[in-house]
Chains A and B, each alone.
Chain A
Amino acid sequence: MTRLMKYFSEGRTSGKHTLPFVVILLGVTILASAANLFLPADSALYVSTYTITLLGKYLCYAMLALAVDIIWGYCGILSLGHGAFFALGGYAMGMYLMRQIGDRGVYGNPLLPDFMVFLDWKELPWFWLGMDHFWFAMLMAVVVPGLLAFVFGWLAFRSRVTGVYLSIMTQALTYALLLAFFRNEMGFGGNNGLTDFKEILGFSLQADSTRVGLFLITAILLAVIFVVSQKILSSRLGKVVLAIRDSESRSRFIGYRTDRYKVWLFVYSAVIAGIAGALYVPQVGIINPGEFSPINSIEMVIWVAVGGRGTLIGAVIGALLVNYAKTRFTAIMPDAWLFALGAMFVLVTLYLPKGLMGLYGQLMSKRRTANNSNNTEESQA
């Protein structure tokens, strides 16, 4: 317990969280899936397909929050552009799903997606080639965000763009992509984006079983990414990353090529965001340039901030809580959501700099000191 506290106070997650997290995550997922598939719809324990899809969406957000946390919480790089990596992953998946529609589109063109027929295009642009293969599309879903992150990170970190400048640059990056993807000429469906998907790998996207399948895959991938990230961050590399966060110049003087660490962590984080995007699109059934809007990227940061940055579990909890709150708020009082979100930004930064996990840590340490002073013998035993 003491060690755990120490980790919290240093803003680092202990590996002890990993097992309970994986067990709870997969347990809940399997139970919910089973309740959806095997219980009758009128049963009290039945979980509707809507809920399954919603949960799947939350898990994608959790994955995204993990990506933001890895780079912000552990390395101190506040990226306001992770929405871009998420959306790029989503577009790769969207392109694959679009190609699966085949001749079932409104215009019945076997080769071209509807929006291209509408724009009177004659052939598929080169960057759509190969997107009808699942493996290729999935490769692109990680390669494109990874490559963008590499180029951007390589340019930025090598010339030591840091702090606020970097945040603004990442925001400009996603804004530039937003503008670009709004153009019809880009070949990604412009304003409307990609939608009307029919099936994935031959499974209908409307079927309950497909939805449950996607949900399960999301949960498993989230668990895997969580465990892998945990391993990476608690390894020697992770310690260097923390050192960079706490004092980059000192780490550099000691002899670490800090820019390389940052670039690769940035790429890793972007790849996770890309995967989250690719999983998100078949579940919500649409991807459009709105995903690039700067406010989305900033919202991700607040998930992490609410949960507690620098703890992977905190990022996940934050994403789940805030998005649940969003679903509820926007249903009850749609106008109040922005007030609530805004207040959350202000209050969390003012009063909970370490998020809910930090609060939890504080409470635990208070209880421990209370216990210690009351019955010292017992706690030592």
Chain B
Amino acid sequence: MTLRRITLRRITLRHCMALCCCLFGLFSLPSFAVESTSLDPLLADLAEAKISKMVPILDKIEKASDETVLPLFRTLLNGNLYYIKSTKQVVGQFDANGDTFYKDVFTGQANPTLTKRDVKKIRVNNTLRGYLRNAIARIQLTSKNPSVRESAVRELLSKLDDDTIGILERLYPNETNKKVKHAMGLALAMNTASQTKLAVSNRIAAIDTLADSLENDVRNLLTTLSNDENPAIQSASNAALDTIAQRANRFAFVDQLFFGLSLGSVLLLASIGLAITFGVMGVINMAHGEMIMLGAYTTYVVQLIMPNYIDYSIWVAIPAAFLVSGLMGVLIERLVIRHLHGRPLETLLATFGISLILQQLVRTIFSPLNRQVSTPSWMSGSWEINPVLSLTLNRLYILAFALFVFMALVIILKKTSLGLNVRAVSQNRNMAKAMGVKTNWVDAMTFGLGSGIAGIAGVALSQLTNVGPNLGQAYIIDSFMVVVFGGVGNLLGTLVAAFTLGIATKFLEPTTGAVLAAIIVLVFIILFIQKRPKGLFPQKGRAAE
């Protein structure tokens, strides 16, 4: 189980597995043909052996074989290994569409004729599982793929025994890959450091090398060693622990920064549409949060429609959400907002009414309960940079996506004729109208664009939080803060404000707690507005007021 979880979480490892499987597919057939002779009797033994007698047999299998035996061990570890009663041949069980099938463990070929009656399960217990995990790691140590080897070494750090050390000592001098060699060195140094029989100077040298590492196991070992009988060892391990703690703190800082950037990107997505409508039309769209919500629900519906293609659903959901929210925005503009032109406080009230209606609509259609949106597999997992720093992929993607949307919007506003008209209207509505700009059309398009981007933000948010009728409300006040802080109608200001607030919140949180951090940020903005009522980057010249 642990192994599976780790393979899932370590993206690099996962990719390597895939690669491995391909390699395996290419090489397994001839190599298996050679080995089958020596392996077959062992497998037959395994099928008949009692659970207590299995370790020696597995040992022999391990010695007699190489990487090709990995699928067998993995199947056994997961408790899916069976043998055919008549032939004593081992097979793996797998489920597809609710039915149970059996396949050859080595070739992966399904054997459709087998039924439950023909086979018997090979049982495993915890001792066996522990052994299997080590065995798998040991086999992987000789893998052709360096990153498989590396993760195998790291896997072994917590359970170094004499056997493994022996293997590592044998492999270390010949290892060519730097990373693997480093990891192996680490394992050997851990071993040296903990050997009380060795000379103190050797152990201290080993401890000093360990100071470079951020592995948990290394830290545990050093903590144990800091209570060693020998004072020299004690001080050396304490010094090493200090060095490690300093480095870990640096990475914790990076981690926090990443979370801040991630929150900032969410704020950016949520507020950028607001910045456009507010800046160009002077309209406070209180229903903006509900546009986000509609986008999130669109994602949900798209996934309902294509349940077997979750990985691709997001590529459908993004344009769909843009359209749904955008059209809703155009509708609202045509029906309500254009009648309230130049009266921002009234638009605030009317759009608030619209937000209530939309929330209740969603509640009536989808129920008031939160809906679960699944994350495409390529977005889940995390990028492990080192043992203390791993960045979740979905946040990383959303950060990139937010920046992409921002760039796209800047390009639309700078390079397209719509952008030209929008800028003209935002600077001087009457003049633009006199020059022949269809301000009505520009208004509707602007509002549609702003709402559509809110919809896209909803797609992104659906990957981070629950999708429910109150989704929009949770972000609306924050979005307003961002827009006000950055300076209305200023995209760059919105960008800077979103990331500033995001990072500030995440850096406050560890010391103050989430709620107090939110309050401090709000109070800060309230005070900031006193000093700069028009935000960070106020509009200048005639355009202002």
Contact = CB atoms under 8 A, between A and B. Distances in A.
B519 A176 contact: yes
B481 A172 contact: yes
B480 A171 contact: yes
A345 B350 contact: yes
B519 A350 contact: no
Contacts of A173: 522, 526
B538 to A, nearest CB: 11
B353 interface: yes
Contacts of B429: none
B16 interface: no
Interface residues of A, number: 41
A314 interface: no
A49 to B, nearest CB: 32
Contacts of B525: 172
Contacts of B147: none
B284 A164 contact: yes
B205 interface: no
Contacts of A171: 477, 480
Query: Which A-B residue pairs are the 6 nearest by beta carbons?
Result: A345-B353, A342-B356, A342-B357, A338-B360, A346-B353, A176-B522
Contacts of A158: 530
A345 B349 contact: yes
Interface string B325-363: 000000000001001100011111110111111011101
B356 A338 contact: yes
Contact of A349 (B350, B360, B480, B529): B350
B364 interface: yes
Contact of A159 (B354, B515, B530): B530
Contacts of B63: none
Contact of B484 (A165, A176, A348): A165
A339 interface: yes
Contacts of B344: 163-164
B99 to A, nearest CB: 44
Contact of A169 (B359, B360, B526): B526
Contacts of B345: 78, 163-164, 167
B123 to A, nearest CB: 51
Contacts of A183: 515-516
B518 interface: yes
Contacts of A182: 515
B533 A159 contact: yes
B484 A345 contact: no
Contacts of B412: none
A185 to B, nearest CB: 9
B534 to A, nearest CB: 8
B529 A165 contact: yes
A212 interface: no
Interface in B471-494: 477, 480-481, 484
Given A169-B484, A345-B350, A346-B357, 12 more contacts: A163-B345, A164-B348, A173-B526, A179-B518, A180-B515, A301-B349, A339-B356, A345-B352, A345-B356, A346-B350, A349-B340, A349-B350
A167 B343 CA distance: 14
Instruction: Please indicate which of the listed interface residues A163, A168, A182, A341 has the most CB atoms of chain B within 10 Å of its own CB.
Output: A168
Nearest to B287: A342
A37 interface: no
Contact of B353 (A163, A167, A168, A342): A342
A338 B359 CA distance: 8
Interface of A: 78, 152, 155-156, 158-161, 163-165, 167-169, 171-173, 175-176, 179-180, 182-183, 294, 298, 301-302, 305, 335, 338-339, 341-346, 348-350, 353
Instruction: Please indicate which of the listed interface residues A173, A176, A349 has the most CB atoms of chain B within 10 Å of its own CB.
Output: A349
Contacts of A345: 349-350, 352-354, 356
Interface in B526-540: 526-527, 529-531, 533
A346 B526 contact: no
Contacts of B357: 338-339, 342-343, 346
Contacts of B51: none
B522 A172 contact: yes
15 contacts: A156-B529, A159-B533, A160-B533, A165-B533, A171-B477, A171-B480, A172-B477, A179-B522, A180-B519, A183-B515, A302-B349, A302-B353, A335-B360, A335-B363, A349-B353
Contacts of A301: 349
Interface of B: 284, 336, 339-340, 344-350, 352-357, 359-361, 363-364, 477, 480-481, 484, 515-516, 518-519, 522-523, 525-527, 529-531, 533
A158 B530 CA distance: 8
A342 B360 contact: yes
Nearest to B283: A164
Nearest to A80: B348
Nearest to B278: A164
A167 B529 contact: no
A25 B518 CA distance: 44
A161 B527 CA distance: 11
A350 B346 CA distance: 8
A154 B527 CA distance: 11
B338 to A, nearest CB: 11
A350 B529 contact: no
A163 to B, nearest CB: 6
B86 to A, nearest CB: 65
B354 A342 contact: yes
A159 B354 CA distance: 32
A168 B484 contact: yes
Nearest to A305: B349
Contact of A350 (B284, B336, B364, B531): B336
B518 A168 contact: no
Contacts of B356: 338-339, 341-342, 345
Nearest to B525: A172
A266 to B, nearest CB: 15
A305 B343 CA distance: 14
Nearest to A72: B345
A161 B528 CA distance: 11
A179 B346 CA distance: 27
A315 B296 CA distance: 38
Nearest to A338: B360
Nearest to B481: A172
A175 B522 CA distance: 9
A159 B531 contact: yes
Given A172-B480, A342-B356, A345-B356, A167 B530 contact: no
Contacts of A346: 336, 350, 353-354, 357
Contact of A78 (B348, B359, B530): B348
A172 to B, nearest CB: 5
B146 to A, nearest CB: 50
A343 B353 contact: yes
A75 to B, nearest CB: 12
Contacts of B516: 183
A172 B522 CA distance: 7
Contacts of B361: 339
Nearest to B518: A179
A338 B357 CA distance: 6
Contacts of B481: 168, 172
A338 B352 CA distance: 11
Nearest to B282: A164
B527 A155 contact: yes
Contact of A341 (B353, B364, B480, B531): B353
Contacts of A353: 346
B530 A179 contact: no
